[in-house]
Copies of this chain bind each other. A is one copy, B any other.
Amino acid sequence: MSSNSKITVSKIAAGAGVSPATVSRVLNHRHLVKPETIEQVENAMKALGYSIPEHKITAPREEPVIILNIPNINNLFYTEVIQGATMSANSHGCHLLINQSPLDHGSFHGFCSLIRRVNAAGVIFLNQVPSELLHQINQMVPVIQCCEYNQDADLPYVSIDDCRAAMKATEYLIASGKNKIAFINGPLSFKYAMERQRGFLTAMSNADLSIPKSWLIQLPEVNYEMAYAAVCQLLTSEVVPGAFFAASDMLAAAAIRAAKRYHYHVPRDIMVVGFDNIDLSAMYTPSITTVSQPKFQEGFSSCEMLLEKIANPDSATRSILFDTELVIRESTSTNSGAI
C-alpha cells in the first residue's frame, strides 16, 4: 500500500503532475482549468480512489444566468410563458431565475444591482419598461421584451398582434349575430390593452356598429371584483348588451358571473369572449371562448433570441409576432352543453 492516510489536494496534485492550486480549481472553479488538465487531475483522483463530493462538482464552464422579470407573479398569464423560457434556458445549460419588479424609476437601481450581483448574462422583460431604463439596462446586458413591450425602445420583442386578434374575436361575435357588444378592459397604460381596444373598435366600426360610451368599460386595474361590479351595473341599466368581449379571461369570468347573477343565460342571452386562454378559461363554468396566444412559444422564443444575442452580441435580432387562435368554448357556443 502506498498511502493509506487521508487523500489531500497535494497528493492528487503530485499524482497528476500539477500544482495543488490547479487541483483546488478543478474542485471549485472548474471553468478556469483547461479540459485536458481536468482530465489529468480526475485520473489522478480516480487512481487514489477519491470521488468528488456531489455538491462540490461545478459546471465545466460558468453557466450563464438569465433573469426573467415579471411585474407581478400574481398573474396566471405568466406561468406558461415562464415554462417556455425555462425549457429553452435549461436545454442550453443556463439558469433561468425569475425576478419580480415593476421596473419603474423607483426600482431601477435595485434591478441594476441585481444584474451585477448575479453577473447575469441577459434579461427578458414581461413588462413594459420605459425606454430610457430599457436602454440603460441594454448597455449592461442583452435585453429581450416578451408579450408586453415598448415599441419606442427599438429593442427586440416577441409578442402577438393584439389589435388583429381582438378584431378577429369581435368579428366572430358579430358573425354570431351579436351587434350589441360591450368591451371590458384594464388600464390603457398597458400596450396590449390599448391594442386590444383598438382592434375591438376597428371591427365594430368596420361593421357600422356603434355602442354607448358606458359599454366601453375601463377598469383602474385588472381585477375580478371590480369587473364583476362594473358588469353588474351595466346589466341593471335599460339596454343590456348581447355580448361581452373582455381583454382578459379573468374579466370574462367576472362578466359571466355577473350575467348569471341577473339570470341571463350564457351564451343564449349573453355571449362572452375572453383573451389569453389561461387555464381558468377551460375550467370555468361555462368554459370561456377566448383568444389563445402561444404563451409557451413566446417564452421559449424570447429565451432563444436572448441566448443568440448573448452568444453573438452583434447579430441583428428581429422581433417576432406570433399568430393567435380563437378557441371556441361554451360561453359563445350554443350547441355545446353549456349550463
Contacts and interface: CB of A to CB of B under 8 A. Distances in A.
A2 to B, nearest CB: 30
A229 interface: no
A83 B79 contact: no
A39 B250 CA distance: 51
B83 A74 contact: yes
Nearest to A280: B280
Interface string A247-267: 000100110110011000000
A254 B279 CA distance: 12
| Main secondary structure on A side of the interface with B | helix
A295 to B, nearest CB: 11
B279 A63 contact: no
A-B complex: 8 closest residue pairs judged by Cβ atoms: A98-B98, A97-B97, A118-B118, A55-B136, A55-B112, A74-B79, A62-B117, A73-B79
A65 B283 contact: no
A310 interface: no
A254 B287 CA distance: 12
Most buried by B among A63, A80, A95: A95
Interface of A: 53-59, 62-63, 65, 67, 73-74, 76, 79-80, 82-83, 86, 95-100, 108-110, 112-114, 116-119, 136-137, 139-140, 224, 250, 253-254, 256-257, 260-261, 279-280, 282-285, 337, 339
Contacts of A224: 279, 282-283
Contacts of A285: 256-257, 260, 284-285
Given A55-B108, A65-B114, A73-B98, 6 more contacts: A55-B136, A57-B112, A95-B99, A95-B114, A95-B117, A96-B100
